[in-house]
């Protein structure tokens, strides 16, 4: 718990270094830590550092930011329920987690994008790297972080996602059977592509299951959370997936 509090404190401190005040949860990307439009020279649009309408590096999401080449994994091999921890390559995995880690693993500069107005914008901050509380998966090591790119036991049944199946000893009654009804965003892996939405037997979770990087209307708290950071009500982010009642 102390390490978790320290990490959140580090995140909050880094937010204070940004040139914008933190926008209210759910009020959109403008004025959040993901709004880089006012800190580059020449000034870009708010979407540029993740997306571009032309010459994108990947067709999916028209992705503009250079992807990490790290191979991500956890120190542990399986969960207590016997589900193998996933592994994935930052530059080839098709789920949104790879997009998040292209900035947040600290290996790629914030301003390392493929295209804007004939090139990449320049500013000291945008040529810097994520450090401190924002940095997750340094060197590909995801140890100590919530599992992502992993199957979710949707419908209280085993699911397969990113070539991993929920373990035979997983306590399926300890999970919300339909967390998307609580505002959590789940994904389908059909073996060819990963896309938003649930498919029984093929459903999993990504970073964006609990965080909305665009600060959309479902965001309820800081860190782009789709629920509350603390408490024990139905809006508490953890119980939106985990049924501990």
As a whole number, mean pLDDT of residues 232-239 equals 95
Distance from C-alpha of 123 to C-alpha of 100, rounded to nearest angstrom: 21
Give yes or no for residue 88 having a pLDDT over 90: yes
Q: Where is average pLDDT lowest: 2-6, 57-61, 218-222? A: 2-6
As a whole number, mean pLDDT of residues 231-241 equals 95
pLDDT score, position 124: 74
pLDDT score, position 27: 97
pLDDT score, position 199: 98
- Give me the phi and psi of 172, to 5 degrees please: -65, -25
Closest CA to 213 of 16, 24, 18, 34: 34
pLDDT digits (tens, 9 = 90+) for 14-52: 333 344 446 899 999 999 999 988 777 778 888 988 999
Percent of the chain with pLDDT over 70: 90
Q: Which two tokens stand for residue 59?
A: 């067709």
Residue 224, SS3? coil
Give yes or no for residue 191 having a pLDDT over 70: yes
pLDDT digits (tens, 9 = 90+) for 110-152: 989 888 887 777 777 788 899 888 999 999 999 999 999 999 9
Query: Which residues are within 8 A (CB) of 181 and not within 5 positions of it... i.e. 6 or more apart?
Result: none
pLDDT score, position 80: 93
Q: Which two tokens stand for residue 94?
A: 């098709």
pLDDT score, position 22: 67
**Full-model pTM:** 0.88
Give yes or no for residue 241 having a pLDDT over 70: yes
100 pLDDT tier (thresholds 50, 70, 90): very high
User: Which is more confident, 64 or 118?
Assistant: 64
Give yes or no for residue 1 having a pLDDT over 60: no
Q: Quick one: DSSP state of residue 236? A: B
CA distances from 196 to 84, 185, 189 (A): 23, 7, 9
Q: Which two tokens stand for residue 177?
A: 């059977």
Q: Which two tokens stand for residue 102?
A: 């292209």
User: How much of the chain is helix, strand and coil, in % rounded to 5?
Assistant: 20, 15, 60
Average pLDDT over all residues of the chain: 89
pLDDT score, position 114: 85
């Amino acid at each position: 718990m102390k390490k978790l509090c320290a990490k959140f404190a580090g995140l909050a401190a880094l937010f204070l270094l940004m040139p914008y005040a933190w926008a209210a949860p759910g009020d959109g990307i403008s004025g959040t830590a993901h709004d880089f439009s006012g800190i580059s020279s020449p000034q870009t649009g708010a979407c540029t550092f993740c997306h571009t309408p032309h010459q994108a590096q990947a067709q999916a999401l028209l992705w503009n930011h250079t992807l990490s080449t790290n191979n991500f994994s956890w120190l542990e091999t399986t969960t207590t329920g016997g589900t193998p921890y996933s592994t994935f390559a930052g530059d080839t995995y098709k789920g949104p987690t790879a997009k998040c880690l292209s900035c947040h693993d600290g290996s790629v500069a914030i301003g390392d994008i493929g295209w804007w107005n004939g090139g990449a914008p320049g500013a000291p901050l945008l040529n810097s790297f994520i450090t401190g509380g924002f940095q997750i998966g340094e060197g590909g090591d995801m140890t100590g972080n919530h599992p992502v790119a992993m199957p979710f036991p949707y419908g209280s049944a085993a699911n397969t996602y990113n070539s991993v199946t929920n373990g035979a000893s997983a306590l399926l009654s300890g999970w919300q059977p339909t967390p998307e009804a609580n505002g959590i965003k789940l994904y389908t892996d059909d073996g060819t592509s990963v896309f938003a939405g649930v498919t029984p037997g093929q459903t999993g979770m990504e970073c964006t299951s609990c965080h909305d990087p665009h600060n959309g209307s479902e965001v309820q708290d800081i860190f782009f959370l789709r629920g509350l950071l603390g408490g024990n009500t139905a809006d508490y982010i953890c119980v939106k997936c985990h049924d501990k009642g």
